[in-house]
Structure 1
């Protein structure tokens, strides 16, 4: 059981770090890869796209949490 929790926390930290780095990159860049100058509105749209992309891992992590809680109760 302990290995499942260590794996869950490690994965959560990795996903959080990826999200944090992506957010910082979006908010500090002045020009994107296509050469478009980033306005606050475009940065917000890019952030929302990043957020939508991270919804799937959040759902998977939530299901994994429920699995860990139920498996821990059975022992």
Structure 2
């Protein structure tokens, strides 16, 4: 049971760090890989795309949390 929680927290920390680094890269860069100068609107669109990409892992983490809570409560 404890290993499930440790792995859940570790995975959450990794996902959060990936999201934070991705967000920092989007907001710090001046020109993207295609050579387009980044305006605040383009940065916001890129951030929204990143956010949409992280919705699936968030859903998986919530399901995993519910399963961990149910298995911890039943013992």
TM-score of the alignment, normalized to the shorter chain, above 0.5: yes
Runs ≥4 in structure 1, deviation > 2 angstroms? none
How many pairs align?
75
Alignment of 1:35-74 (within 5 A): 35-74=35-74
Deviation at 1:19, TM superposition (A): 0.0
Residue 22 of structure 1: how far off its partner (Å): 0.0
Other structure's SS at 1:9 match = helix
* Superposition deviation, residue 66 in structure 1: 0.1
Instruction: State how far apart, in whole Å, the 1-side matches of 2:23 and 2:74 are.
Output: 39
CA distance, structure 2, for counterparts of residue 74 and residue 44 of structure 1: 44
TM-score of the two chains, using structure 1 as the length reference:
0.99
Query: Normalising by the residue count of structure 2, what TM-score does the alignment of the two structures yield?
Result: 0.99
Deviations 1:20-41 (A, max 9, x none): 0000000000000000000000
Distance 1:74 1:22 in 2: 38
